[in-house]
Structure formats: structure tokens, C-alpha cells
Amino acid sequence: MLFPHLTGQEVLKRRLAAAAEAGTGHAYLFSGAAGSGRHVFAKAYAQMLLCENPGEEGACGQCDACRHFVHGIHPDFKSLELVEKEKNIKVERVRQLCSDLSMQPQIGTRKIYLIDADNLNEQGQNALLKSLEEPPAYVVFILIASGTHKLLPTVLSRLTNLALQRYSNEQLEQILTEAGYLEGDKLNFLIRYANGLPGRALDLAANEQFGKLRQETADFYLSIAANSRLNLLSEGFSFFDERRDSCRLILSIMSSMIRDQLLLASQADESLMVNQDLAQQLKRTVAEHGVESRTHLWRGYDALREADRAFSLNVSFEVLVCQLLLSLRKELANA
């Protein structure tokens, strides 16, 4: 089986093995949510394509090409990703990459281009399109994206889409334990919170401040409904302002709590809750209004999702946070 050292994604592995056996195509899309392992699998496939002695399990790991790849100095592997202070990958950088295609491989028979497609705007995608349509025979494009929705139909039609699936709890446990995270309750929480995404689980397991941030966020979230507007716009804003680097993680923690409240309001199985240690506090917040609370909770959840999207754009931090806090207060007070 291809890539036996990588846990899960058996369907993807079979598709990649079949592609390798049939003859490598020229353009692939590894699609999946952030933390799904799309980058890990894309690079493993790129290394296999560049390897001098690939086998049934993938790259040999021993040849000069593999050593160059692992150390980030393979001359026939190029990546195009977002750099600091860029909102999107500049079209000039896309054109520079395309101009490199005419240069023959230096040490092998292929050239691999790994591209972060989520950060290509329409102009950048159009600049790449002709190269996708008629690449030199030795060129393979590997694009990475959260899904197909951001890609132009003309671009998408030239790609073989390889979608990554969410991992099972058992697979996440294997990944975390192999990485050395063996604590019982903490491990179980991380597995639930990661929601099938190993990258998220590993990042949080390595984040020594996550436990403290989660508790602070839980305490703050549970106080929102009873807080005054004035207090929210002062102390509530300060809660976010003092943790600017962690704002999107705070929104994620809040979203997990509101999903748990929706489960409780629907009288679903409590074992499905992410924040099982907060079950009693969350129950009290939905007990008074019962089924009627679900509409307000869904609105609160939508407000959190909109805020998360807005954080990735150039919007006023103060306006964004204050609008979110007022929306949450309105909905949670009625939930």
C-alpha cells in the first residue's frame, strides 16, 4: 500500500497508487479542510514523483533526490504559497513560476510545482490557466485547497481532484499517541475537538497555552448572556483585544460550545458533545427555553462563523468584535 507510514486516507492512497501505475497525470488537486493532512499527502506524492527508486510504498527515502527533497533543496521542486503581508498570491509571482516551466529538470525527469490554490485570486488563476492546459511533458502541478468552491471552473476542469476525508476518532488517537501525547482526558478532549482533523489535534496538543485559553474562553462565553451591553463593549472587547493572536481559536472554542448547546437543546446523546466536562453549565443555559432556544443558538453560531470569515479580511477589529459580542448577547439571552 502506498504511503503506509501515513495513517488513514485509504481511498486516497488507492487512487494515488492507481494514478502512479497508469501513468502520472499533469495536474492534481489535494482538497480538504485545514488540518486534514492535504499538505502532508501532497508533499509525499511530490517526493515519490521525484524519487529515483520509487516503490509500492512511495519514495525510497535514500536516493539523492529524496535527500534533496527532505532538506528543501531539490532544484526541480518549487512551491508557490502566501508570504508575509500578502492577502493573495501576487499575479506576478504566478507568472514567474510559469516562466520557469520551459527550463528542463536539473537532476531528474520531472519538475513538480506545489501551489496553494486557496490564495490564488481570479487573476492569479487565469495567469496559471494556460500552463495547466498545455504544460511540458515533464511538469506536474499539485494544487492544495480547502475545497473546489474557490477555483474557477476552467481551472478545476484541468485538475484531478483528490479529496481528503475526515479521520475517525481511532485514527486520531493513533496519530496523537504516536506523537507522544498519552494523557487520557486531555487526549479524549483533543480528539473530540479536532473533529476529524489530525493537523488541528497535533497543533493544539503542542500548544501549552490551549488549556488555559479554553477555560478563559468558556468562562467568558458563559457570562455573555447576563452581561450588560456596556460591560461587553468594554471588558468583553478587552478580552479579545488582549488575545488578538488567538482570536480565531477563541471563536473556534465558542463554536464548539454553541454546537454542544444545540445538541442538548435537541436532546441528543451527550456523548457526542465536545465539551463534556462543561455539560452541566451548558445544560443550565438551554433548560429554561428548551426547543425554542435552537433558533437563537443557530443565529449565534452563524454570527461566530461570519466573524471568523471576517477576521481573514481587512476589517476593523473593534467594529467586528463589538458587533459579534452584541449579536451573541442578543441570541444567547434568548437561548
Burial class (CB in 10 A: 0-12, 13-18, 19+), 181: middle
User: What's the whole-number average pLDDT of the chain?
Assistant: 89
List pLDDT tens digits, range 53-110: 998 889 999 999 999 999 999 999 999 998 877 788 899 999 999 999 989 999 989 9
Burial class (CB in 10 A: 0-12, 13-18, 19+), 265: buried
The grid coordinates listed for 53 are: 527508486
CB 44 within 8 A of CB 6: yes
Whether pTM > 0.95 for this model: the answer is no
Check pLDDT > 90 for residue 47: yes
List pLDDT tens digits, range 276-298: 888 888 888 776 655 567 888 89
Check pLDDT > 80 for residue 24: no
Spell out the residues 6+ positions from residue 283 whose beta carbon is closer than 8 angstroms to its own: 264
CB 30 within 8 A of CB 20: no
**Rounded distance between C-alpha atoms, residue 202 and residue 175, angstroms:** 8
CB 29 within 8 A of CB 159: yes
